[in-house]
Structure 1
Amino acid sequence: MAWSTGADRRPGAFLRHVRLADDAPTTGYPFALPVVTGLARSGGLPLGPGVTFLVRENGSGKSTLMEAIALAAGLNPEGGSQNFAFATRATESALGDELVLSWSGRKPSTRFFLRAESYYNVATEIERLDRETPLLQAYGGTSPHERSHGESFVDLVTHRFGPRGLYLLDEPEAALSVRGCLAVLARLAELVDQGCQVLVATHSPILLALPGAAIHEIGDDGAIEPVAYDDALPVRLTRDFLAGPDRFLRHLLPDGPA
């Protein structure tokens, strides 16, 4: 990991740019993933204040990139804040060691990595830490293990995420109902107003509707390009399906509607 800094005093402008180190490997996992080759070709991913979304199909490398950015930013690859140091099973890739993060002159007051697939492990660590120093109030006052997966996610972004923070969210919609997605959408808008910066990998057209957010789509060749909401792949596919599910079912199911 390498660090560089520069002056940028806009609210929520903490992490300005993510790129691959000049001497990073070019073959093998994860460096052959589309998003990593795209980073190498483009010179990196610029990040502004507020919320930035990353979208694309499974296998493009979104989650691998999110994990690597979290690791390079000093966060636990399984999730949590900068103070979480537990390891259930070391499965993170080597990409985090090969990223160069460019920071503004402002420091976030707190950082947190929400990773849907390993949040059970984070919840267990929260309980363990609470036995040493009470901290459950920062997570809504109830152990995440005593709430549903989706409820614990909403508790987290509502109670633990505070002003002037840097937050990385990997597919938070995995645990959320439609109503839960709407609650998180509203909370993201509040966090932007509180000077936060948030990077989200998602498939949710609901979350992508956040006003003012930047949406970056990973192409088939790994290129990371800004897109409008209406042009984002999750939005287009969801609209097409809802407009005519029978057309999809005819192709997907051998006994589907005629």
Structure 2
Amino acid sequence: ATPDGGTAVNSGVGPNPTHDYGGPAPTHAHESGPDRHSRVLTPVSHLAHLAWWGAAILGLVLGTIYLLRGGPEVALALGPGFDGLFTVVGIVGAVLSLYLYLIGRHYVGEGEIARARDSFGSIYDTLTHAAMETSFVTVWVLVAFLAYEYFVLFSGVNIATLAAAAGVLAPIGGAVVGLIPGCGPQILLASVYAEGGLPFSALSANAIAQDGDALFPLLAVDAKAAIVATIYNFLPAAVVGVALHFLWGPVFGMAEFGFGVL
């Protein structure tokens, strides 16, 4: 083996077979970088990529300050204060993520999933890969939150009441949601739990069952293995969730809803 991950074969150096998968690359990856070129959109997309990183760094700083303050309610405002800056950076970051995911990735490129050596050929390629993957996650998290909020708004459903009425089916439902690839639904459930709308047993089952975004490259490389891994995750998730449903409150005397459980 060589330091860069290659493998010595017949006195020569070749690619590490563990990094080389048969079949085509995932549909949202580009073998040779960007698949489009434009005199306007190509430089604009690169600028948007750099601006995205600026917003990400500012967001990290503001998010850290927010947590150090104890996670207070932040007003939606425009101004020089913390609330205004928090709002502006959040909106700008969301808009840039939408642009990069929908348009910019075609003019900047987005790295390779399951082909790490192709994705990280330089610092800029590494940053591009990270920005595109994060934008992808951001967009679908936004979609999940909007779908949930509009569903609650127009249906008038009280999620907490529904979850309480579901009883033992709540943790099983949490485990089922965990089967969905990506982290959007899981982040949504965690937020609903934080608002007191989901029992701890359902959150725990979901946390055990879900693979987050790690399932996407596995689906691209070996769909059968991804399905088997998902089943393996679901079974213990359902068992633990149901056990917590019967033990957490009645036996341990812990609150089922909200952050007061720990």
TM value normalised by structure 1? 0.28
Q: Which structure carries more relative contact order (alpha carbon 8 Å, separation 6+)?
A: 1
Between Structure 1 and Structure 2, the one with more helix by share is 2
Between Structure 1 and Structure 2, the one with more strand by share is 1
TM value normalised by structure 2? 0.28
- Tell me which structure has the larger Cα radius of gyration: 2
